[in-house]
A and B are shown apart, each in its own frame.
Chain A
Amino acid sequence: MKFIDEYQDSKLARGLARKIAQRSTKTIRLMEFCGGHTHAILRYGIRQLVPKTVEMRSGPGCPVCVTATADLDKAIALAHLPDVIITTFGDMIRVPGSYSSLQQAKAEGADVRIVYSTIDAVETAKANSGKSVIFLGIGFETTAPTIAASILKAQQEKIENFYVLSLNKLTPPVMKTLLDSGEVKLDGIVCPGHVSVIIGSHPYEFIPRDYEVACVISGFEPLDILLCIDKLVEQIENGEPKVEIAYPRGVKPEGNRKARQLMENIFEIGEANWRGIGIVPHSGLKIRGKYEQFDADKAFPVSLKPPKEPKGCRCGDVIRGAATPLECQLFRKVCTPERPVGPCMVSSEGACAAYYQYGTPENLSGF
């Protein structure tokens, strides 16, 4: 048992697909919140396995994609400060900001380093005591505890040259914002599996209660996603929306209390600026005053020119689920993984990158 291959069995997938087809009578629209799900759905041809009655829309669950241009501009400005080393997860480096990118800043002499883990960022600070090491803290609830752990470690080990630019974002508040706007009518949400490992299933309960939208937490293998769609279809057909876990090997209803507690100790909840959505109250994590010496926002005030969005780019609409990448005029023609215009084409979780990579005509039929 490796907990991967077993959930990729094609015979079992066809069985589930048949069950979904037998059950589904209503025409429904589901949103997969997480970009990891969008990629898996396209990669494994899940759209071809589910009946035409089920429409899938990609949501805002791509941390690189939802980082606002103004925040990216700030990261680029920090990279240009003297004696600063920027440490970041890989995808951020290629996203175009208003006037430059981290990659371009690096080419111009800035010290920008890709790290796999916040542990590596702290080690970089230890190894470069004469420099200020700033970690770009992007991510959702899955990643936020690891960033909190890095701040705690820096405090415990008295590492005084380590800083975090906290751009962390929270999942349930932005789901509320999307549902409140009513721009995209949804019947169900494929809830993010690894965010839910941390937060559990309870934070989604307002969604079926207040919006009558079904919520099922899914893993990332093809059988996980099909099982999730089956449960969503069942809930919607029965008119009984609720929160279910279709990934019980990973997600407990109560989540991971230890990780959440550390996150709450280090961060407080504030507003956050989301690309394509704007300021969403209570959807961001700010470093608490007690740990402000590690807060890059406080330590390095920078003045910025007003942000400029790339002309014609519809990443904002794609992030809200209001458009598919195919509706963007730049897609494949001007905007490609080699020369991305917007972040949704850069990120390994971006919807445009998924459509580009796996979007055969059969795979995209029904979108």
Chain B
Amino acid sequence: MCLAVPVKIVAIDGDEAETEIAGVRRRVSITFTPEAKVGDYVLLHTGYAIGVVNEAEAKETLKLLEEIASLSEVH
């Protein structure tokens, strides 16, 4: 139920957007994410984008995980 998957916005038409994930296209409502732009990833939940994925934070988390992996290898 609380499942949400990141999908990429390829076009915007009013409060709806055309999104794409793994080659599959789907029209979704972006009424809750008016700040979403073409190229952004949004979290898709039952036909609605509920949030825009923050790419800078996503990269930051991966950097942190890589640091942890390399540090714990040393010890």
Chain A residues near B (Cβ < 8 Å): 1-4, 6-7, 9, 11-12, 14-16, 18-19, 22, 34-36, 61-64, 89, 91, 116-120, 138-140, 142-143, 145-146, 149, 192-195, 197-198, 220, 223, 227, 230, 248-252, 256, 258-259, 262, 347, 349
Which B1-51 residues have C-beta < 8 A from chain A?
1-6, 29, 31-34, 41, 43, 45-48, 50-51
Min C-beta distance of A26 to chain B, whole Å: 20
Q: How far is the CA of A116 from the CA of B55 in the complex (A)?
A: 28
Q: How many residues of B contact A (CB 8 A)?
A: 38
A34, closest chain B residue (CB): B2
Q: How far is the CA of A270 from the CA of B61 in the complex (A)?
A: 38
A-B pair number, CB within 8 angstroms: 140
B68 and A16: CB pair below 8 A?
A: yes
B6, closest chain A residue (CB): A3
Residues of A with C-beta under 8 A to B59: 1
Other than the given A6-B62, A118-B47, A249-B61, 14 more pairs (CB < 8 A) read A3-B6, A12-B68, A34-B2, A117-B48, A142-B50, A149-B31, A149-B32, A194-B3, A227-B65, A249-B55, A250-B53, A251-B51, A256-B50, A259-B50
A142 and B51: CB pair below 8 A?
A: no
- Asked whether A194 and B43 contact (CB < 8 A) given A22-B72, A64-B1, A143-B2, the answer is yes
Min C-beta distance of B37 to chain A, whole Å: 16
Residues of A with C-beta under 8 A to B50: 142, 145, 194, 197-198, 256, 259
Q: What are some 9 contacts across the A-B interface (CB < 8 A)?
A: A3-B58, A36-B3, A63-B1, A63-B2, A143-B1, A145-B48, A149-B31, A250-B4, A250-B43
Main secondary structure of the interface of A (DSSP, over half): helix
Residues of A with C-beta under 8 A to B54: 248-250, 252
Q: How far is the CA of A64 from the CA of B55 in the complex (A)?
A: 32
A258 and B32: CB pair below 8 A?
A: yes
B4 and A142: CB pair below 8 A?
A: yes
Q: How far is the CA of A2 from the CA of B8 in the complex (A)?
A: 8
Q: How far is the CA of A220 from the CA of B5 in the complex (A)?
A: 10
A118 and B46: CB pair below 8 A?
A: yes
- Asked whether A12 and B46 contact (CB < 8 A) given A194-B2, A256-B51, A349-B1, the answer is no
B16, closest chain A residue (CB): A119
Q: How far is the CA of A61 from the CA of B54 in the complex (A)?
A: 25
B53 and A3: CB pair below 8 A?
A: yes
B2 and A18: CB pair below 8 A?
A: no
Residues of A with C-beta under 8 A to B72: 15-16, 18-19, 22
Q: How far is the CA of A119 from the CA of B31 in the complex (A)?
A: 12
Residues of A with C-beta under 8 A to B69: 11-12, 14-16
Residues of B with C-beta under 8 A to A64: 1
Instruction: Out of B47, B64, B73, name the residue touching A116 (CB < 8 Å).
Output: B47
Min C-beta distance of A17 to chain B, whole Å: 8
A62, closest chain B residue (CB): B1
Min C-beta distance of A285 to chain B, whole Å: 15
Q: How far is the CA of A197 from the CA of B70 in the complex (A)?
A: 31
Residues of A with C-beta under 8 A to B4: 142, 194, 197, 250
Residues of A with C-beta under 8 A to B2: 34-36, 61, 63, 139-140, 142-143, 192-195, 349
Residues of B with C-beta under 8 A to A19: 68, 71-72
Q: How far is the CA of A15 from the CA of B71 in the complex (A)?
A: 8
B65 and A12: CB pair below 8 A?
A: yes
Min C-beta distance of B62 to chain A, whole Å: 6
B48, closest chain A residue (CB): A146
A89, closest chain B residue (CB): B1
Min C-beta distance of A365 to chain B, whole Å: 23
